[in-house]
Each structure stands twice: as C-alpha cells, then as structure tokens.
Structure 1
Amino acid sequence: MKTFKYILLSTLFIAFYSCEDDDSNTVIEEPLPELTAGSADFSTYVAVGNSLTAGFTDNALFKAAQENATPNILSQKFALAGGGDFSLPLMEDNFGGIAFGGNRLPGFNPRLVFGGAGPVPLESVVGPVTVTTDLTSNPTGPFNNMGVPGAKSFHLLFDGYGNPAGLQTTPTTANPYFVRMASAPNATILGDAMAQSPTFFSLWIGNNDVLGYATSGGDGSNPITPVDGPPGVGFNQTYGALVTTLTSQGAQGVVANIPYVTDIPHFTTVPHNPIPLDAATATAVNQAYAEYNGGIQAALAALAGTGLFTEEEANLRMINFSAGAGNAVVIEDESLTDLGAINPAFAALPKIRQATADDLLVLTASSFIGTEAVPGNPLTVNGVAVPLADRWVLIPSEQAEIKTAIDAFNATIKATATQAGLAFVDANALLNQLANGGISSNSFTLNSSLVFGGAFSLDGIHPTARGNALIANEFMKAIDATYSSNFEASGNLVDIGNYPTNYSPTLQ
C-alpha cells in the first residue's frame, strides 16, 4: 500500500512539472483584430503624382513595374477594407520605351538591367527589341493611377500636357505618358482624377520640381520651380490648389513629401576620384596643365592684397595628377572667381578645378568619365584632360539651392496636409534612414546602395518593387494614424520579401 502511495505521488509530481514545462514553453497568441477602414472611405481610390506614383523603375515604365507600384499595392489592401477596382494605364510590354507611329520617341528607351557590374541598357544584353507601346493606340480610361512620369507640380494643372501635338513643338509641351492617359487633348491630370469623384486619394508630387535641376547638374536647363507664384507657376500656391480641389468633394487622402537628393544613389554612387593613371599618362596630363597652373599662380601674385582672389581658391584650382588610382576628376565650376573680369590678362583661365568629396557626380557620368573625345589620345580623356561640364556635377552651392527648395516645399506639404486633415508620410525621413544604416522589415534590410541595397532601382532614383512595398507600408501606417484604420494592427502590412529587387532581362 505504501509502495502504491509513493508511486502515485511520484506520478503526480512528474505530471505537475510536465504541466509547468508545457505552460512555460507555450506562447498563446492573441488573435489579430479584423481589418477595419476606420473613418476612411476607400471605395474610389485615385493616385495622383509623378514617376514615383506610376511605378517608373530602372529608367523606364513597363507592365511589371506598374503592377508593383506603391498605389497598386495600396489598392490591393484597400480592397480588403471596402475599396473598389483600381485601373492602371498599363504599357504594352515589359521592355519599356514609347513609340509614335512605329518610331521610338527620343529619350524614352527600354529599361536598364543588371549587366554583372552595374546598370546597362536592356538591348545590350538581349539584343534589339521592338517597343510595342505606341501612341497611335492608347488604352481607354478612366485610370485610377494618375501618376505621370516627369510631371512637376504645375503640370497637373496644365491643359495641354496630354495633347499629342505638343510632342512636335520645340520645346515640347506635352508628356507622352499623359498622352496615353488623357481623356481629351485639353484634359488635365487633376481634372481626369476629379472626374472619377474619388473618395480617397494619394498625392506624391514635387520631386521633379527640384529633381530635374539636380539630374542636369544644376546647369540651368531645367530650373527649380519657384516657391511662390500663382497656381500653375509657384509651388506653394499650386500645391494648395491641388489639395483644395482633391478635397472639394469630401475626399480623404494621404500625401508624401520630397526626399533630399543626397539620399538617393543617383547622386552618391560615382566617386569624385575614380581615375587611375599610369606614370606616363599622369606626367603627360600634368605637362598639359602646366601653363594653366602657372596662370593661376600669376593671377594670385598679381591680385595679392586686393581680396579679390584668395590663396585658398588658388590652391583649389591647381590641377595635379599622380600615378595610380584615386585621382579626382576635373570639373567646371561656375562659382569660381572670373579672373578675366578682374584683369583681362587672365581671361584665358577657365573656371575649373579638381572635384572634392563635397561634389556630387550624377550616376550617368559613370559612362562618360574616362572616355576619350579623340580615340587613342590620352590627352582628350573626359574628366582628366577635358573637364566635366556643369551637367555632370552638383557643386556645393547647387546642392544648397536644392536643399533650400526642398525644405520650403516640404514645409508647404506638411502645413497643407495638417490644415486639410490628411495623412502625411515623411518620405524625406524614410529615405534618409535608408541612406544612413538602412531599414529592416520582415527579416530583410534595405539601404540606398545602388544594385545591392534592394531599395533603389538601377536608375538610382526610383524604388524597386521591394522599395515600393516598404513605402506602401509607410503609407498605410500614416493612414492608420489619421483615419483609425488598422492595417498594421490587423497584420495587413505587406511582406516586402514578396516583391523583387530586380527584373530579369528576359522578363516577358
């Protein structure tokens, strides 16, 4: 009997600790709440913006990229919370590029692909392709995604932006992407968006108001939009008019601001000192610059004590190359002192210097630096014997202009969003975080490195599909905060790992 009692106690003892072990190792997960739209009405969602809205990727617009655009990702989640259909102005192929009557439009070429070391044109890998997106055969709207690559803020109000005749003018006044989408030749982007009576909208505009100036190296061919001026001219009044119109029928919405150009790889990938030279070439180039360097020293001596030309600037303008890697490129710099205007004896001295780490070379300069203007002649190498023109470089003063404009535009976007009660996405802070350590989501970490960072496509400006997914999640979080929806709490943010970081050259 005693034996049985001890056996029973032992069994109970083991069972007790077994239960404790089970309890300590079992995590009981609370069920996620059901998705709710809160006070938001997603029944008719219209996205308004530029290339970031359209899904432009790898320097082109093509079907797969459009389907992975931020608004399309959002629309799929909105559909779970009362949203309706979301129509896209899909391109005809996955090549990219646009034709008009069978002839390619200059500047609207097939997409870039990864060539093993960096971005290369699609046709350099797969051979010639036939671009099938032709403006003589356009899709029929209305379209919920009204993102038009290349559009600046004031273009959303311009009633000739979709007129095919404007493609024949000099300069052109129409945009071929909007020509494909416009309901009529005199339609406006904003008007076609409003014709759908949106209940909810997204507006991400303003990037091109500064980006065109930046990508052209600040050479003046594509000026920054003025901060002030009437709607259709100045950014502040134009942006206010856009939001006033979009909300005029009671629509709710989400807006995003503008990132700094210093946070995107188009301006941070090409180093200022990429030139390797052998000893013979370095000696030859230095001999070629000897007369120029002597002229700089003569100017410094002649202007000593006047305060018109400092020793610091003279040292900056001296050109010197050495054998080996790490030679800085020679650039034009319009901010340098015009020595000829001070003394005609120095009129022949150009405004040139070697670049420093404070200069930003545009990504497209990588295909130009080191090429020979005269094949076989090392004294005609671009960036060495031939200074890089303004369009290839953003000098510090140009960067300051861009930052000042972005700060002003972003202040307007934030204030307008607050006044209208709209959700707000700080895209500027998001891209800054990508550039400074990266962002982790669903076991993936994205950063702003070209090709391998995962966030930016091969043009160094536009997001990858995975980058768009990350941005879509930020939009949903902002909508949750403003309209009491619960995309995040209900587990309805997207898994960014389900979206690619690049597209195969053979994508069909």
Structure 2
Amino acid sequence: MKRIFALLFCFGLLMISCEDDDTMVTEPDSMPDPIVVTSGSADFSNYVAIGNSLTAGFSDNALFTAGQEASFPNMLASNFALAGGGSFNIPFMADNLGGMTLAGNPIAGNRLILDFSTGSPNPVPVEGQGSTEITNTLSGSFNNMGVPGAKSYHLVAPGYGNVAGVADGLANPYFARFASSPTTTVLADAAAQNATFFSVWIGNNDILGYVVAGGAGVNQTGNIDPSTYGGSDISDPNVVAGSIDAVLQAMTANGADGVIANLPDVTTIPFLTTVPYNPVPLDQATADLLNGAYAAYNGGLAQVQGLGLITAEELERRTISFEAGDANAVVLIDEDLTDLTGVNPALINMRQSTPDDLLVLTSRSFIGTLANPADPTSINGVAIPLADNWVLTPEEQATANATLIAYNQVIAGLATTYDLALVDANALLRGINEMGFPLADGSTVTAEFGTGGGFSLDGVHPSPRGYAILANAFAEAINAKYGSTLPGVNPLDYTGLYIN
C-alpha cells in the first residue's frame, strides 16, 4: 500500500489585515494533524480517463485550456498523485478561446467559448478565432482520452481520428489532433498505455443529441447498425452495451482497476429547464388579433371532435387561446397529436405548450422573431408554430427517460461484471437540480442557468465547480470500492462560471 502524507489547510488559518499595518497570525500548534492518503488496493501510478466532452473538460460550449485543466479527471489525477499517482498528460488546446481550424479554415461547428459581452441575457460566442489547428497533430500518449462529441460506439470506430475525414464529417476533429494514427481507435490508444487505473464515462451523447434537438431525431432502438444513425438519434441499448463492454474488456485485460459512472437524466439540465413554457407577452389588441386568426382552426377542431375523430381531451389540448399579459404559452408542432390533415389540410398537428413541455435553451433567442421579415405578423412561436426541434414534448421525454433507464441498467451490470467502482452521477445531478448541493462556506450549488454555479453557459456541461463536485463523487466511489483515502477537492477552489 502506497502512503504519503498530505496536509489539508483550512481557510482562515492565516489572516492578514493591512489596516494600520496590524498583522494577526495563528500559532503553529493550531495546524491540523497530517492526514494519511492511501491508495488502498488500487494502483494509481498510471491513470487513463476515457469518455467524451464531460471527461475532456468541455464547458461554455467549447474546449479550451482552462477548461481542460478543470476537467474532473485532472482533479482526480491530483488526488491520485497523493497516493502514488504519476503524471497526467492532456492534449491541450492552443488557447482559451476554443474553436479549431482545418488548414487555416474554421471547421463546421466551430465551438468558441460563450460569454455575455453583448449585454444580452443570451450568451454568444466570443469574437475571434481560436488558434488550434487540427493538422498540427500532437505526439505522444495522453492520459485524458476524453473526446468531445463521442458516442459509445465512436470509441471503437477505426478512423475516428483521421484528419482526412474531418472535412466530410467522417472523423472527430478533437481526436484527430492526438490520435496515434489515422486508422486507430480511441480505445486502442487508451489501451496501449497499459493503465493501472482507469475511468469510463460514456453513453450520454447516445441520448443527449436527441434531447437537445427537441426530440427531432430517431429512436434507433432495435437497429444495431450505428453506421445508419443520424447525429440526433438515440442509440440502441445493445450497441451501447457492446461498445462499453469492449472498452472495459480492453482496459481490464492487464488487471487494471477502474471506475465507471452512470448517466444523468439529461431532461433536467438547464438547457431544457430555463425557458418557460409561457414566455410570450401580449397586449389586449394583439391577443384579440391572434384569437381571431386562430378561430377557424379552433372551429375546425370542434367539428372533427363532433364527428368522433378526436376526444374532448384532445380538443381541449389543441384549442389555441391568447390573453393580455406576460405569460402566454407558445404554439408548437406536436407529431404525437392525431393527424387530421386528411380531413382538413389546415388542421395541422398544432397546440400550445404546457408546463409539461421543455423548451430548449436556444429557443429563447428564436421565439418572437419573424419568420418573414417583410411580414410583421409572422412571429415565431406565436403566429408561426415552433418546429419539433425547439421543444421536447412529454412523449419525447418519456422516450429519453426509458432509454436512460436501459443504459444505466447496462452500466450497472457491467460495473458488477468487471468489479469496478460505480458512480451514481444520475442521483448526484438529480440532487443538484432538485435540492442543490451545499458547500462549506454556506453557499449552495444549483442547476439554475447562469447563476447556480453547477453548469456552464451552454446549459449542458458543468462549470469548473460542477466538475469538482463530480470529481469528489468519483473519489468517494473509488474510496468505497478500493479502500483508498482520497481527500477529494474543494469545489470552492473552482469558479462557478467563466466570465469573459
């Protein structure tokens, strides 16, 4: 068993006052006793982290140097160093802007860090262009194998880091920067390092794409061919199971211990809980105008209900009505409503939102804009219904939650099969969302967008403080499984929000 002594210093032991040049210093005998940090039965000498953006340290819609430094694996590595852990190499981006270029040209989906520089409540990408050039590939091996955008099956996909495939969307630009060869896989490069300890957190992107696209993707359950999946599709649970099993089989082949995390409920992230279902302010004249415009639609619904084609409940759900005030529900398209267009083409699948609907964060800057700049009445979300990608309906939420349950059952089973520590990230993040997470200074971290301290400005990825809370959850699970005494990190040492 490896041991070293780590001194944990308490805030406030040294207090210096500049007023009147007076200085107060506590006596040395007030220092706490040394705490023994041990590795237990684990060997932390060579730690490799495998995952996606959550492992890489993605925050504020971008990957950048400071975010990579504040990744939860880097925090864990600092704890491991207290118990025999070695160096932890990270494939750093070139700056703190984020964004990348390919042969000097910004790549599609170029991700720059968000900020509030415009004064708008909606954060926007910073100006400028990141200096990270994809073709400037990095040499050496890297302990942080987190690849933003990776789904479970991408970890075992040859060519996922091929620079030549980036322009056509056939390869991942982040992995292309540090892949050992154009044909390698993320797993192959991770396994080649012969880790003595590893972490795996993968699978959230297999469902997240569907959720942040407002359910506009396809539920591919029953289709085990991921080559046919779209970017916003839900992966079949068997595909996820097979991919994670392959990762764990390779990483434990030489006897390494490890930790795996389950997946949080992505329907509770600020990206889906920030925009209210009823954000539309109207004066009386506009409300009257809109009610007149929707009168024919409402009347047509009443007629088909009289014919027995829809229930009274669906009639009530679909009837559109506005009133003067600041809290009118938006109008949206709902594919799960009864299709009445065969009876009357004007009776499209349209209704107003309810508290059970989740509007995506980006809808905040879209609702109220004009679909046709030349027509002042073509207001998106009011006169023009929101398309499927702007709202996650209750039926779509149910699909996502059923998938989450299936994925987490897979992960729990694999943790048992490979005798790994298991982090219940689902329970942790649910607690932050519902009750908040108390800190030592009396403050509470919540999932409130922009002010809660737990999530970054993209509404999806944690802030550095949120990552610190996650790192501690990993440390606790590792201690419980392997008998180590990792102290964790102090979340107060990390910012709750990057401000640029």
What TM-score do you get using the length of structure 1 for normalisation?
0.87
Is the Cα–Cα contact under 8 Å of residues 119 and 458 in structure 1 kept in the other structure?
Answer: no
Counterpart-to-counterpart distance in 2, 1:329 and 1:352:
11
How far off is 1:29 after superposition?
9.4
In the other structure, the counterpart of 1:63 is: 65
Residue 279 of structure 2 is matched in structure 1 by 274
Q: CA RMSD in A?
A: 1.6
Partner in structure 2 of residue 421 of structure 1: 419
Q: Which residue of 1 aligns with 2:491?
A: 496
User: Aligned partners of 2:116, 2:262: CA distance in 1, in Å?
Assistant: 30
The aligned residue for residue 93 of structure 2 is 91
Letter in 2 for 1:199: T
Q: Secondary structure at the match of 1:451?
A: coil
What amino acid is aligned across from residue 335 of structure 2 in structure 1?
Answer: E
* Residue 223, structure 1, aligned to residue 257, structure 2: no
Specify the alignment match of 1:362 in structure 2: 360
Deviates more, 1:31-40 or 1:348-357: 31-40
The Cα shift of 1:283 comes to 1.8
User: Match of 2:266, as an amino acid?
Assistant: V
- Name the residue aligned to 1:118: 121
For 1:294-333, list aligned pairs within 5 A: 294-301=299-306, 303-304=307-308, 308-333=309-334
- Provide Cα deviations, 1:426-453, integer angstroms capped at 9, x if missing partner: 0000000001110113223111111111
The number of aligned residues is: 457
**Equivalents in 2 of 1:99, 1:256: separation in Å?**
32
Quote the Cα distance in structure 2 between the aligned partners of 1:414 and 1:32: 36
Indicate the SS of the match to 1:211: helix
Unaligned runs of 5+ in 1: 1-26, 229-233
Match of 1:381 in 2: 379
Percent identity between matched residues is 50
Q: Which residue of 2 aligns with 1:180?
A: 177
User: Distance between the aligned counterparts of 1:499 and 1:82, measured in 2?
Assistant: 24
The answer to whether the aligner puts 1:154 opposite 2:153 as a matched pair is: yes
Moved more, 368-377 or 471-480: 368-377
**CA–CA distance in 2 between the matches of 1:130 and 1:486?**
43
Paired residues of 1:270 and 1:361 also in contact (CA < 8 A):
yes
Match of 2:80 among 78, 81, 85: 78
Match of 2:449 in 1: 450
Corresponding residue number in structure 2 for 1:7: none
Q: Secondary structure at the match of 1:266?
A: helix
Q: How does 1:429-508 map to 2 (within 5 A)?
A: 429-443=427-441, 444-487=443-486, 492-505=487-500
Residue aligning to 1:213? 210
Relative to its length, the structure with more helix (as a share) is 1
Residue 192 of structure 1 deviates from its aligned partner by 0.4
Q: Aligned partners of 1:321, 1:383: CA distance in 2, in Å?
A: 12
1: CA distance, partners of 2:121 / 2:145: 31
- CA displacement, residues 140-175 of structure 1 (integer Å, 9 cap, x when unaligned): 231110000110100000002111222233xx2211
Q: Radius of gyration: which is bigger?
A: 1
1:73 and 1:472 in contact (8 A); partners too: yes
Deviations 1:187-230 (A, max 9, x none): 100000011110100000010010001011111251110012xx
Partner of 1:23: none
Contact kept? 1:281, 1:378, Cα under 8 Å: no
Match of 1:3 in 2: none
